Structure formats: C-alpha cells, structure tokens
Amino acid sequence: MKKLIINADEFGLTEGTNRAIAKAYQFGTVTSATIIVNQWAFDDAILISKQNPGLGVGIHLNITDGRPILPLNEVISLVDATGYFYNRYNLMIRLTLGRINLSEVENELMTQVTKLTSRGINPTHIDDHQCIILHPKLFRIITQIASHLNIPIRIPQASLSLLDGRWMRKIASYLICNTYRPILKRKEVQTTDYFYKVVDFYHDRLNCEPSLINSYASLLLRISEGTSELMVHPSYMDERLVRFMDGSITMARQRVEEMKVLLNPKLKEMLTEAGFKLIHFGEL
C-alpha cells in the first residue's frame, strides 16, 4: 500500500502561512505540519493546532533563521553580532571549522521542543529548517532528541530519478542520507521510506497553478509502495512572508501557487485514483 504524508513546513511562520495550512488540512490534502517556534505566528499556530486536532503537528527545528529561544549568552557560538542565527552557509562553515559549540546546539533545540510541549502540543515528529540534518554532527544531535522523545524524523533523501539539476549537490545529499538509514534502524528511530518535494522535480515550472498541478500529477505517479513524505510550503501572501524570502516576491508567490494546488479538487481526485492512504507521522 502507498501511504503518504503531506507535510507543510514552517507552520507558525506568518498568519498567512498558518491559514493556508489550516485550509489545506480541512480540505483534505495536507495531513501534517511542522511548527517553527521562533517565528512571528507561533501563538497563532498553537491555536490552529488545537482547533484542528486531527492534524499531525511536528516540530521544525531551526538554528539558521531568526533569533534563538535561549538567552544570547547561552548560544554565543550560534549567533552573529546582531543576535540572529548565522545563515545556513555560515553555520556549515563554522561547524566544519569547529567554531560551533554542539552543547549549545543541543540545548537550543531541546528548548525549542520544550517551548512547543509547554503549550500542550506533543510533536508527532521532527524535521529541520534548511536540511541542517545533512551535517553529520547535527544529525547525531537531532537523532538523539528524536530517540529521547520516541518520535520519527525526516530524512530528506529525494529519489535520484526525480532530480533535475545541481546534480553534484543532490547526489551528495542522497549518499549522506543513505548512510543515515541504518543508524536510525539501530537506534529504532522511525522515518519514511521515501521523501519527495515537487521543487526537485520541476523547479522551473513553479510559476503558476496550472503547470504546478501537472508537476504534482507527474510526481504522484512516481511515488513508490511504502511510506512517503511529500514536503510542501503553502501560504497566503503577506509582507512577512516576502521578508522571510529575503525580499523575493517571486519566491513568495510560489508558496501561494502551491497553496492553490493543495486546495484544487483535481489534486484530491489524483490522490484517490492513485490509491494513496493519507496519514501523518504519528500513524507510521
């Protein structure tokens, strides 16, 4: 049987993102979402989660965007002079050079989990912002947290048959993830059999709903038997979303178009015709 989790990332980013996720869940496409706890609309995401108890809610661990939850003096190696997290590029460089205190990483990530659970939400699973799990040092920390909480994690291992460019980077990511799977099995940490994101399949076509629905149609035909996660990023347009996308209105619009697809009856028909059973991570 094909079991599919449609997970919306960055729940809690903006009110527009939260509304889009809630509508897609109520429409019957999105089954799961991951809350990012240090962004503008966290409180709103908590409220929506409690209003929609069937939505699987995980945590979107983040040390590359915004400010930390812990006081700055407790995460000195993770933040720049302005008190914001280093971006992903600089974080990876600092990790490679040994300039990141891994205890600070673990403490910040656990504090993010605690912030979520203190609001009455027990996460169904863990994923992370900007695939930081691809760094082995961060993989070890995230896996340890997942094992402690006894919940699954995301392994962002896209199928090589779906990649459309930037081959060296994507093959490297694929091979890294391949080494992670036996480790997770030994530690009895669950993950899905497969991971998909439509941007790896037809990145150049993410400009309007008609072409995007065709991309989803093609992608769904290639999903294998077993358990799969499809990562999505729906949102309504708002000023904070554009700011989060580094001022790119084009990138923000892509999220709006993705929302339209997730609310398109054609997508529901395709999911039904393909025989998918829609689940969330708590049902693995």
Go through the domains of the chain in sequence order and give each one's CATH number. Answer: 2-283 (3.20.20.370)
pLDDT in tens, the chain (284 residues): 999 999 999 999 999 999 999 999 999 999 999 999 999 999 999 999 999 999 999 999 999 999 999 999 999 999 999 999 999 999 999 999 999 999 999 999 999 999 999 999 999 999 999 999 999 999 999 999 999 999 999 999 877 666 555 667 778 888 999 999 999 999 999 999 999 988 765 544 445 566 788 889 888 988 989 999 999 999 999 999 999 999 999 999 999 999 999 999 999 999 999 999 999 999 99
Beta bridge partners of 227: 3
Which helix or strand (DSSP H or E) is residue 258 part of?
A: helix 249-262
Q: What is the pLDDT, as a whole number, of residue 166? A: 62
Which helix or strand (DSSP H or E) is residue 34 part of?
A: strand 32-35
The whole-angstrom separation of Cα 192 and Cα 266 is: 25
- The distance of Cα 184 from the centroid of its chain, to the nearest Å, equals 19
Residue type, 159: S
CB 240 within 8 A of CB 13: yes
- Half-sphere exposure in the Cβ direction for 263 (13 Å, CA): 17
Helices 42-51 and 15-27 pack at an angle, to 10 degrees, of 20
Q: Which residues contact 14 (CB under 8 A, 6 or more apart)?
A: 39, 40, 41, 235, 238, 240, 241, 244
CB 225 within 8 A of CB 4: no
Q: What is the pLDDT, as a whole number, of residue 159? A: 74
CB 114 within 8 A of CB 142: no
Kindly state the tokens that stand for 116.
């979520």
Question: Which candidate, 115, 111, 120, 109, places its Cα nearest to that of 153?
Answer: 109
Length of the chain: 284
CB 166 within 8 A of CB 133: no
Q: Which residues contact 103 (CB under 8 A, 6 or more apart)?
A: none
Q: Give residue for tokens 């529901």.
A: 268
Between the CA of residue 42 and those of 107, 122, 205, 213, what are the distances in Å? 20, 15, 31, 30
CB 73 within 8 A of CB 97: no
Between the CA of residue 90 and those of 16, 63, 210, 283, what are the distances in Å? 29, 11, 37, 36
Q: What is the pLDDT, as a whole number, of residue 211? A: 76
